[in-house]
Amino acid sequence: MPVTRMIRRCRGRDARRPVGDAIELLRQVAGLLYVATALVAFRWYLRERAEASKWLAATFATLATVVVVGIVSGDTRPTWLWVLTVAGLLAYPYLLMRFAATFDPFPRWVWPVVSTIAAGLLVWTAAVMPLAEDGASRPSAAAAYVLAVIVYFVALSVTVAWRLWHGGHGQPTLARRRMRSMAAAALLLSLALVAAGTGGEGEAVGLTVQLFSISATLLFLTAFATPGVLRASWRAVEEDELYRAAVRLMTVTTATEVAGVLLPHVRRVVGARVARLTTHDGAVLGLHGQPQGRPSFTIALSGADLEVWMSRYTPFFGVEEQRLGARLGLLADLALARADLLGREQQAREDVEAANRELEAFVYTASHDLKTPLLALLGFVDLLDAEPGVRSADAEFYLTRMRANARYMQDLIADLLELSRVGRVDITPEEVDLADLVRTVASHATEQHPGTAVVVDGELPHLWANATRLRQLVTNAVENAARYGGRPDITVSISAEPTHDGVELGIRDDGVGIPSEHRERVFGVFERLDQSGGGTGIGLALCRKIAEELGGSIRFADSDTGADLRVELPLTAIVAAPPLTATDRTTTSTTEPEIRA
């Protein structure tokens, strides 16, 4: 009968010549190999406890059981044992499909269909086996049964083989070859079964079946218990990739370049679908591929995180490649640290160059502005020298101008020194009564510029601030308004409004104002819109430098009348101005009385 003939041929019992002994020996070897494969798979399951390793262990345990039962029981086994043996043979490809499905799920309808077909074949086996034992001859029915079994076995095995083979695409070399070894093994086992079922009675067929069988087990063992020599050989490509990545990483100079070099290498070495490098606060330095869901693993580097999305096959077939990825991550860490150092060095160099340029410009401007009064001084000296009989009125004029220019140079030098001190001399903050400070400034201003009025607009808080710098800032702002307001009876009002992170001082006047195109320029050192005010042109530059030293900013706001200077300072108002008492209410209006000399 074709059925028993097929089974006997698988067992190698039909040959009665010396070749038959060889075939029998090969069958024993194949049996041992199947048992070894089952033990390796089972050990892997015990170690990993993963879904894939569970199905793999079940697959080879079933196959080994079928083979061992066949060897041990021989031809005299009872019918029920035959049926069980065939059941095992039918279960093998089903279990292998379950293993493959852990990486790449099949559609849900597949399982009921396959299970039904397997169950149907089992029932058919139960029906066919007694007839075979009784010697009843129904060649067409038997052939149909054998064909059905072969088609079922081959179809499932080829499906799994194709999935594993295709899944190896894009994987690192070691993982890819392991997967394809398994695919080849599944195909070889199918071929063995086809040969056994359809190949006839000859020794050649028997030998072929056993050789296919042994080759299949060896390939299975290679797939998930790869010898060290093969591992090293198959991993050579990725090791070389790692070396090339290391060389390239040592030449890059920015974090973005590190990402650009690292990520393609990571994908090739690890067999990742997606790789991404991000800073610790989430900014993406580089991305290779389209991320979906959470990363399979993340390597935390000192300056960044390397996130990798693996294929489903990698945890099973490519574990060692993940370690290669970690090595690559370490190299990237070094490169990132180097890039950071280079970046800071470059920034420091640029800062120094900018500071040098600023210094050069400042020195030029300062020397020019010092030359101006000096030339005037020399000019008047020349005039006195050239005119021995100069009239006393003219001489008096010359001497007055000489004195004024000398004083101007003196003021200029003092202001320059003060400007240079801002930021260099450390003055600690203290509680400052802003209203009291304004009164002091107002008193000084009206001494210098009689007719100028300084008023307080609203309440002025106590501030936790550097009193010296704050006084300098307010003094220079008021002085600027008085000098350049355009008329002697100017009124300067000072206010303080809270902001979200401090206070905004307002110094407003009712003078001629500043054209919008000059509102930024006037903060430059020695910049004046006209000479009539007599100042050095450093006042507003000093105000800006102080505001920036205090962590704030200064600008002229749009204004229809006069100039409106706003100084934003991140200072804490520590004590609110005391509420007005009943007595105060009778003598003050919404603004405090103007302060005059």
Partner 1 sequence: MTKPLRVLVAEDNPDHRYFITRALEGLEDIALEVTTVEDGAEALDFVYRRGVYADQPAPDVILLDLKMPRRSGLEVLDELKSDPTLRTIPVSILSSSDRQEDVLEAYRLGGNAYLRKRGFTELTSDLRGAMRFWGQIVVLPPSPA
Footprint of partner 1 on residues 42-61 (CB under 8 A)? none
Size of the site for partner 1 (CB under 8 A): 21
User: Under 8 Å CB-to-CB from 244, ≥6 apart: which residues?
Assistant: 265
Query: Residue 62 has which token pair?
Result: 């079933």
The stretch among 170-178, 376-384, 433-441, 561-569 that binds partner 1 (CB under 8 A) is: 376-384
Contact flag: residue 349 with partner 1 (CB under 8 A): no
379, 458, 486, 506: which one binds partner 1 (CB under 8 A): 379
Q: Would you count residue 380 as binding partner 1 (CB under 8 A)?
A: yes
Stretch that binds partner 1, among 132-140, 369-377, 422-430, 563-571 (CB under 8 A): 369-377
Residue of the chain from 376, 395, 512, 577 that contacts partner 1 (CB under 8 A): 376
Taking CB under 8 A as the rule, does residue 359 contact partner 1? no
Distance of alpha carbon 39 from alpha carbon 94, whole angstroms: 20
110 three-state secondary structure: helix
368 lines the binding site for partner 1 (CB under 8 A): yes
Find the shortest distance in angstroms from Cβ 364 to partner 1. 6
User: Is position 512 an interface residue for partner 1 (rule: CB under 8 A)?
Assistant: no
Output the smallest distance, CB 363 to partner 1, in A: 11
Q: Which of 239-247, 266-274, 370-378, 475-483 is the region at the interface with partner 1 (rule: CB under 8 A)?
A: 370-378
Which distant-in-sequence residues (6+ apart) come within 8 Å of 512 by Cβ? 484, 485, 486, 487, 562
Cα(224)–Cα(230) distance, integer angstroms: 12
Question: Using H for helix, E for strand and C for coil, what is the string for 526-562?
Answer: CCCCCCCCCCCCCHHHHHHHHHHHCCCEEEECCCCCC
Q: How far is the CB of 273 from partner 1 (least distance, A)?
A: 59
**Does residue 372 belong to the site contacting partner 1 (CB under 8 A)?**
yes
Give Cβ neighbours of residue 500 (< 8 Å, ≥ 6 apart).
none
518 binds partner 1 (CB under 8 A): yes
Instruction: Considering the complex, state which of residue 426 and residue 530 has its C-beta at the smaller distance from partner 1.
Output: 530
SS3 of 577, please? coil
Q: How far apart are CA 400 and CA 380, in angstroms?
A: 10
Q: How far apart are CA 272 and CA 310, in angstroms?
A: 4
- DSSP state at residue 420: H
Shortest Å distance, C-beta 375 to partner 1: 6
Of 312, 401, 444, 462, the residue at the interface with partner 1 (CB under 8 A) is 401
| Cβ count within 10 A of residue 173 | 19
Interacting stretch for partner 1, rule CB under 8 A, among 30-38, 172-180, 230-238, 522-530?
522-530
The least distance separating partner 1 from the CB of residue 340, rounded to whole angstroms, comes to 37
Stretch that binds partner 1, among 257-265, 428-436, 498-506, 524-532 (CB under 8 A): 524-532
Between 527 and 546, how does the x/- string for binding to partner 1 read (CB under 8 A)? xxxxx---------------
Q: DSSP letter for 120, please.
A: H
List the one residue out of 196, 197, 270 whose CA is nearest residue 30. Answer: 196
Cα–chain center distance at 458: 50
As measured in angstroms, the least distance from the Cβ of 381 to partner 1 is 8
Beta-sheet strand order (sheet of 284-288):
284-288, 272-279, 304-310, 297-300
Cα–chain center distance at 360? 41
Closest CB to partner 1 among 455 and 525?
A: 525
Nearest to partner 1 of 72, 386 (CB atom): 386
The residue range among 25-33, 250-258, 378-386, 457-465 that interacts with partner 1, by the rule CB under 8 A, is: 378-386
Q: How near is the Cβ of 560 to partner 1 at its closest, in Å?
A: 20
Instruction: State which residue, 345 or 382, has the beta carbon closest to partner 1.
Output: 382
Site for partner 1 in 441-500 (CB under 8 A): none
- In whole angstroms, give the CA distance from residue 135 to residue 79: 13
Residue 283 · residue 357 · CB < 8 Å: no
Among 25, 151, 300, 375, the residue binding partner 1 under the rule CB under 8 A is 375
Whose Cβ is closer to partner 1: residue 218's or residue 529's?
Answer: 529
Choose which of 383, 435, 512, 577 interacts with partner 1 (CB under 8 A). Answer: 383
Residue 564 CB, nearest distance to partner 1 (Å)? 20
Give me the sign of the Cα torsion angle 35, 39, 45, 46. positive
Residue 289 or 379: the one with the smaller Cβ distance to partner 1 is: 379
Distance in angstroms between the alpha carbons of the first and the last residue of the chain: 131
Distance in angstroms (rounded) separating the CA atoms of residues 367 and 369: 5
DSSP characters over 349-398:
HHHHHHHHHHHHHHHHHHHHHHHHHHHHHHHHHHHHHH-TT--HHHHHHH
Q: How far is CA 453 from the centre of its chain?
A: 59
386 binds partner 1 (CB under 8 A): yes
Kindly state the smallest distance separating residue 558's Cβ from partner 1, in Å: 19
Interacting residue ranges for partner 1, rule: CB under 8 A: 364, 368, 371-373, 375-376, 378-380, 382-383, 386, 401, 405, 518, 527-531
